[in-house]
Structure 1
Amino acid sequence: MRVLHFYKTYYPDSMGGIEQVIRQLCVGTGRLGVSNTVLSLSRHDKLTPFEFEGHTVHRVPLNAEIASNAISLQSIGALARMAQEADVVHYHFPWPFMDLAHFMARVNKPSVVTYHSDIVRQRNLLRLYAPLKHRFLRSVDAIVAASPNYLASSPVLDRYRDKTSVITYGLDKTTYPQPEPDRLAHWRARVGPKFFLFVGVLRYYKGLHILLEAAAGLDYPIVIVGAGPIEQELKQQAARLKLKNVIFLGALDDADKVALLTLSYALAFPSHLRSEAFGISLLEGAMYGKPMISCEIGTGTTYINIDGDTGIVVPPSDPLALRAAMQRLWDNPELARQMGRRAELRYQELFTSEKMAMNYLSLYEELAPQRLAAPLARAQA
């Protein structure tokens, strides 16, 4: 079984949530015998194909980017050629240029779309894009949502329920580095023995401005790991609020991130808009047995974090509620420990890479014979 993944960016150019899902999916299905290839865009000059954790990565030049929509004319030809060699083409939505490339490349292989998120922000452009989006979603063979919560709350997916299934994201803890004692000691000395942790790209929908408001008046250490387009804006806000307890660490490598996950007291994940469709960093917190605080936004964040069980769920954009949740966990270590343990058990039950890989392999195997059988059935008619 040969599967081609197509998305606008991938390792080593970036490793955000969707890229991590693709990585875990390639590694997990690779262990089950699938040969995976990833086609992505890049600004780098040297774009030689390379092997990464058992799968092949091909990159083509990124020509332009308009409203977060990466464009590459070279990708159309590459997609056409590489799809010919694949048994299944696996798209990762949203990426409007991808929809256009699918038709221009005349892809005629079994196709799967993992629907990572609705498009939330660019409403005017969305109206122009809607006809292409729906033509693309009608044309593919299967659509996958990452949580039942998102399937239930997405007006777009509601139109395609007949071919949409739910396969949750999964992580493999063995693909994460084991933290060395010296690294743990370094971070413990720098940030203290007890702290709230946020990990992620610093984007508008992450709700970090709300977290900073909640931090005002508290003296709990809050560690923010990540870089992104609103980093300076957040630092300026922290300065205005005179926050001495918030530590911005910037982007860190996996070894340092794992060390901080291991040491952290709890995860603070204040995303307040539906652009946060799942929350891979939140899932990493569950994998490391941490209690979580998140917001109810009708997406997969509340599928990972069950209020009162694995953590606390608060209304979005409510700094007072977020502050109260942090105080509750901080003042009740035994409650926090029990919630963290239940979070880890829920990860082991629902969110492993092995489970995700087996479900996707079943879908691939279901789709490929259908598409191959269709011309034969027409010929025999």
Structure 2
Amino acid sequence: MKVLHFYKTSVPESMGGIEQVIHQIGLGAAKQGVQTDVLSLTRRHVPRTVDVGGYLVHRAKMDLQIASTGFSASAFLRFYQLARHADVIHYHFPWPFMDVVHFATGIRKPTVVTYHSDIIRQKRLLKIYRPLKRCFLRDVDRIVATSPNYLATSEVLARYRDKVSVIPIGLDRETYPAADPERLKAWRARVGPKFFLFVGVLRYYKGLHILMEAARDMHVPIVIVGAGPIEIELRAQAHALGLRNVHFFGQLPDSDKVALLELSYAVVFPSHLRSEAFGISLLEGAMFGKPMISSEIGTGTTFINIAGETGLVVPPSDPAALRNAMQFLWDNPEQASALGARAQERYWQYFTAQRMVTDYIKLYRELL
């Protein structure tokens, strides 16, 4: 079986949440004898095709970008060429240009779309895009939601409920490097033996401005790993609030990220908008056995983190509630440890890459 994934960015150039999902599917599918190709766009002068250790990534030149949507004239032919030899086409939503390519190339193959998120921010452009979006979602054979929570709360998915399946995102623990003892020692000396950790791209919906407010009048160390479009304003906010307990370390290699995950006391994930549809880095916290704090936004974050079982769940955009949750975990190490242990158990039960890949391959076979 041969599957073609289509999304605007991909590994190894980008490692966001959706790229991570495609990467995990590609690696896992190869182990089960399924050949995977990925087509994405790039602005860089890179090889047209590259092997990333089990599957092939093909790149088409990005010509322009509008409202986070990349466009490419060469992608039409490249997609057509690859799709002709594929058994199943696997799209990753949202990306409006993808919908255009789907209809323009006229490929009639079984189609799956993983619905990663509603479109939240670009409300004016959404009015223009909505007719195309509805045609696209109506035309594909199967839609996959990444959590039952998101399926239950998405008005868009409610229109197509009869062809929606739920396949939670999974991670392969073996693809993460082992923590190096020297790096553990170095980071422990740098940040101390006990701290809260946030990992992720610094975007508007991550709720980090709320975390800054919650950190005021607290003395617990908070480590922030990641870069992004609001990094400068977050650093300015932390400086204005006089937050000496908040440490920004920017983008780090996986070896350092793993070391910090191993060392961390708990993971804090304050995303406050539905643009945060799942929360890969929250899942990483569960995989490493850490208690979690997240907000109830009706998405997969509360499918990963069950209130009172794997961590604490607070109302969104509520600095006081977030501060109280952090203080509670800090003051109750035995309960925090028990929550972390149950988080890890839940990861092994529901969120392994093997389970995700097996469910997708089963879906591919059903469509074929």
TM normalised by structure 1 equals 0.96
SS state at 2:249 partner: strand
Which residue of the partner structure matches residue 162 of structure 1?
A: 162
Structure 2 distance, partners of 1:365, 1:259, is 39
Q: Deviations over 1:149-183 (max 9, x none)?
A: 00000000000001001000000000000111001
- The residue identity in structure 2 corresponding to 1:48 is R
1:23 counterpart letter in structure 2: H
Amino acid at match of 1:122: Q
Aligned residues: CA RMSD: 0.6
Q: Does 1:190 align with 2:190?
A: yes
**How many correspondences in the alignment?**
368
Residues 98-107 or 245-254, more deviating: 98-107
What residue is the counterpart of 1:223 in the other structure? 223
Letter of the aligned partner of 2:44 in structure 1?
Answer: H
User: Which residue does 1:132 correspond to in 2?
Assistant: 132
Report the residue type matching 2:41 in the other structure: L
Counterpart contact for 1:60–1:74, Cα < 8 Å: yes
The 2-side partners of 1:285 and 1:53 are apart by: 25
Question: 2:90 aligns to what?
Answer: 90
Question: Residue 77 of structure 1 aligns with which residue?
Answer: 77
Cα distance in 1 for residues equivalent to 2:47 and 2:210: 40
Q: Match of 1:62? A: 62
1-side partners of 2:280 and 2:185: how far apart? 26
1:241 counterpart residue number: 241
**Residue by residue, what CA displacement relative to the aligned partner does 1:131-157 show, whole Å, maximum 9, x if unpaired?**
000000011000000000000000000
- State the one-letter code of the partner of 1:204: Y
- Separation in 1, partners of 2:76, 2:206: 32
Residues 279-318 of structure 1 deviation map (CA, whole Å, 9 limit, x = unaligned): 0000000000000000000000000000011000000000
The aligned residue for residue 121 of structure 1 is: 121
Q: Are 1:320 and 2:320 matched, yes or no?
A: yes
Unaligned runs of 5+ in 2: none
In the TM superposition, what is the alpha-carbon distance from 1:46 to its structure 2 partner?
2.4
CA-CA distance at 1:11 after TM superposition: 1.4
C-alpha displacement of 1:118: 0.2
Structure 2: distance between partners of 1:358 and 1:18: 18
User: Partners in 1 of 2:85 and 2:60 — Cα distance?
Assistant: 18
Q: Residues of 2 paired with 1:50 and 1:344: CA distance?
A: 34
C-alpha deviation, 1:365, in angstroms? 0.4
Any idea what SS the aligned residue of 1:272 has? Answer: coil
Q: Residue 47 of structure 1 contacts residue 60 of structure 1 at CA under 8 Å; is this kept in 2? A: no
SS in 1 for 2:272: coil
Secondary structure at 1:250 match in 2: coil
The aligned residue for residue 209 of structure 2 is 209
Distance across 2 between alignment mates of 1:206 and 1:326: 17
3-state DSSP of counterpart to 1:321: helix
Deviations 1:206-228 (A, max 9, x none): 00000000000001110000000
**Deviates further, 209-218 or 104-113:** 104-113
Amino acid at match of 2:312: I
Gap regions ≥5 residues in structure 1 = 369-381
Deviation at residue 47 of structure 1 after TM alignment: 2.9
2:19 aligned residue: 19
Is the 2:197–2:267 contact (alpha carbons within 8 Å) kept by the matching residues of 1? yes
Q: What residue identity is the alignment partner of 1:316? A: P
Match of 2:103 in 1: 103
Instruction: Verify: 1:30 aligned to 2:30, yes or no.
Output: yes
The one-letter code sitting in structure 2 at the alignment partner of 1:173 is R
Deviation at 1:72, TM superposition (A): 1.1
Counterpart residue number, 1:175: 175
Residue pair 2:262, 2:288 contacting (<8 A) in 1 also:
yes
Residue 303 of structure 1 aligns to a residue in which SS?
helix
Cα distance in 2 between the residues matched to 1:80 and 1:182: 49
1:26 and 1:49 map into 2 onto residues whose CA distance is 15
Secondary structure at the residue paired with 1:344? helix
Letter in 2 for 1:61: K
AA partner of residue 137 (structure 1): L
Cα pair 2:48 2:60 within 8 Å, conserved: no
The structural deviation recorded for 1:76 is 1.1
CA shift, 1:112, in A, is 0.3
Partners of 2:189 and 2:41 in 1: CA distance: 40
Q: CA deviation at 1:48?
A: 2.7
Q: C-alpha separation between the residues in 2 aligned to 1:182 and 1:289? A: 21
- Supply the distance in 2 between the matched residues of 1:53 and 1:176 (Cα, whole angstroms): 14
Question: One-letter code of the match for 2:192?
Answer: G
Looking at structure 2, the residues matched to 326 and 56 of structure 1 have their Cα atoms a distance apart, in angstroms, of: 43
Identity of aligned residues (%): 64
Residue type at the aligned position of 2:98: M
Q: Does 1:296 align with 2:296?
A: yes
- How far residue 53 of structure 1 moved from its aligned partner, in angstroms, is 2.0
Per the alignment, residue 280 of structure 2 pairs with 280
Please list, as runs of the form range in 1=range in 2, the aligned pairs for 1:261-276 lying within 5 A after superposition: 261-276=261-276
Tell me the TM-score normalised to structure 2 length. Answer: 0.99
Q: Supply the distance in 2 between the matched residues of 1:242 and 1:255 (Cα, whole angstroms).
A: 30
